[in-house]
Amino acid sequence: MTRQRRRRAQTAREAVVLTLDVCLRSEVVDASTLLDRQLPEGDPRQDRFAHALLYRALLGRYRNTALLERLSRRPLERLDPPLAAILLAAVTELETMDGSPPYAVVNESVNIARRQLHGGAAGFANGILRRWLRARPDDRDLADWQRLGLHPATFRLLTERLGRETVITWLEASCAALPLTVRLTQPLTQRLGLGDGPLTAPFEHQSLAPARLLPAVYMPTAAILELCGAALTELEVFKEGGLYVQGEAAQLPVYLAGLKEGERVLDLCAAPGGKTIQAAAAVAPSGQVLAVDIEPRRLERLGENLKRLGVQNIRLLEHDGRCGLPPDAVPDGGFDLVLVDAPCSGLGRIADLPEMRSRDLAATESGLIELQRALLKAGSRYLRPGGRLVYSTCTINPAENEDVVRDFLHESGKNWRPVDLRPLLPPALAARDFISFSRPDAGGISLWPPPAGTEGFFVALLERL
C-alpha cells in the first residue's frame, strides 16, 4: 500500500472522498466537521450535497464494502488509499442520490482516482464501477451487521445483551439524521414573545429568518430549528447568542436535577458545554457552575460559547475529573449538584453521527467502563449531604449505563438513594413507549432512538444521604 500526500479537493465529491478515506483508516469523532475543512469554497448547495453523500456513505459502509469486494476480488482495505473511498462514495451516490447521472458519477470518480493516485487506479475504478452499473451484486445474503451498518463485534455484543430483534429494530429506524434541536432560553423566549410555556405551533420571527421554529417532541425548553436553506451561524439570533444547539435528550439530565437559583454545580465532563450552560441558567444569577474538562481544546470551545451567549457564572477548570480537585475549587460544604455526563461509546447518536457505527465496542468497552466508574466515584466526593448526583451517557449499552450505576450503589449504597424519575419527567415524555425504566437497584431511565425523535440516552439521579 502506497502512502502519499493527498491533494486538496477541487469538488464536493472529492472532498467527500478525502473525508471518507480518513474515516476508513482511523477513528473519527466528527466526520461532518472534517468534511467542512475539506470542502472548497463555493456553492452552498454543493456543500449540502457533500454532507448528504458522506452521511449515506458512512451509513452503507459495510454493505457496499461487501458488495464491491465481490466485484474487485480484493479486500478494499488492501487498496491504495483513497481508492476504497472513491469506490464507496461512487456506489453510494449511484444507489441513493437522486439526480446524479451514472456516467457523470463514474467519470468524476475516475478523474479523482487519477488526480489523487495514478492512471492505473483510475482504470481500476472505471472497471469496477462499470461492472456495478451492468449488474449490481445481490445483497440479500448479507449478514445483518453488514446490511444494517454496524461494526460486527459491536453488533454481536449488543444482540447478546439486548436481543437480536431489539438491535435490528433500533438500527433499521436509525437511518436518517435527526432534526436540528435547540434549547429555548428565557431571554430568547422573552425576546421572541413566546411566553413561558412550550412551543405548540410553528413560529417565525425576523431574527430567525429565513429559519423557523417547530414544536419539539417532549422537552418544554426545546424546539426544532428548520433552517430553510440558511446556515445556522448566519442567523441573527445565533450571532447574538440567542440560540444554543442541544438535543432534547441532552437537556434531560439538568431538567431532572431540579436546580434552584443560588445552587452550586460541578460539571465534571463539561465540554462542549450544553449541560453546563443549561445549569448556569437554572442557578443564575447568584448560583455558580464549575466546568471541568481534561481536553484544553474542548474547554476553549466552551469558553467561546460562553462569550457568544454572554454567560458569566461559570468557572472553567482544565483538570482530570478522576483526580482530586484543587481545594479552592470546592465550596464549603460541597456542591448541591454534580453532573457526570461521562465519555461513552456514543451509540445513541448513530442517527446523527454514522461514523459511530464503525466503533468496535468489544475492544473499547472495558476502558470506557473503567473511566465511567472512576468519574462517578470522583464526582460523588464533592457533594454536600442531601446533594444530587446525575450520571448520564448518550449510549444504549447497559454495561455503560445501569451496570455502572448499580456497581457504584453496591460499593457505597448505604450513603446513596436512587431517585425515582417518573414523577420528575416532562409530562409529554412520561407516557411515551420509547422510554424504559431501570430496576430499582440501578435507578435511571433509557431513551431509545429514533421513536423518541432524539438521540438515545441514559440518565440516573442519585441523592446523597
Selected residue with higher pLDDT from 50 and 441: 50
C-alpha cell at 80: 491504495
Are 150 and 100 in the same domain? no
Selected residue with higher pLDDT from 357 and 229: 357
The domain spanning residue 23 has which CATH number? 1.10.940.10
Asked if the model's pLDDT at residue 111 lies above 90, the reply is yes
Query: How many distinct structural domains can be found in the chain?
Result: 4
Q: What is the pLDDT of residue 1?
A: 42
pLDDT in tens, 156-197: 999 999 999 999 989 998 988 899 999 988 888 888 888 878
Residue 292 counted as domain residue: yes
Are 339 and 350 in the same domain? yes
The SS3 of residue 45 is: helix
Please, what is the average pLDDT of the chain?
92
DSSP bridge pairs for 317: 292
Provide mean pLDDT across the span 284-311.
Answer: 93
Q: How far apart are CA 154 and CA 250, in angstroms?
A: 24
Count H helices and E strands in the chain, helices first.
Answer: 18, 13
The SS3 of residue 254 is: helix
Contact by Cβ (8 Å): 336, 369: no
Contact by Cβ (8 Å): 241, 263: no
End position of a domain, from candidates 223, 245, 267: 245
Q: How far apart are CA 48 and CA 175, in angstroms?
A: 18
- For the ranges 140-149, 182-191, 300-309, the maximum mean pLDDT occurs at 140-149
The SS3 of residue 297 is: helix
- How would residue 357 be classed by pLDDT, with cut points 50, 70 and 90? very high
Are 227 and 322 in the same domain? no
- How would residue 2 be classed by pLDDT, with cut points 50, 70 and 90? very low
pLDDT in tens, 252-290: 999 999 999 999 999 999 988 999 999 999 999 999 999
Q: How far apart are CA 395 and CA 401, in angstroms?
A: 8
Residue 117 counted as domain residue: yes
pLDDT in tens, 424-455: 999 888 877 778 887 766 679 998 876 656 78
Are 216 and 353 in the same domain? no
Q: How far apart are CA 337 and CA 351, in angstroms?
A: 31
Are 427 and 417 in the same domain? yes
Residue 71 counted as domain residue: yes
Residue 7 counted as domain residue: no
115's enclosing H/E stretch is helix 102-116
The domain spanning residue 402 has which CATH number? 3.40.50.150
Range of the domain at 407: 249-464
Asked if the model's pLDDT at residue 369 lies above 90, the reply is yes
Asked if the model's pLDDT at residue 230 lies above 70, the reply is yes
- List, as one string, the DSSP characters of 179-196: PPEEE--HHHHHHHT--S
Are 262 and 395 in the same domain? yes
Are 300 and 361 in the same domain? yes
C-alpha cell at 369: 467502563
DSSP bridge pairs for 457: 447
Q: How far apart are CA 328 and CA 319, in angstroms?
A: 13
Q: What is the pLDDT of residue 450?
A: 64
- The closest of 118, 110, 104, 56 to 87, measured between CA atoms, is 110
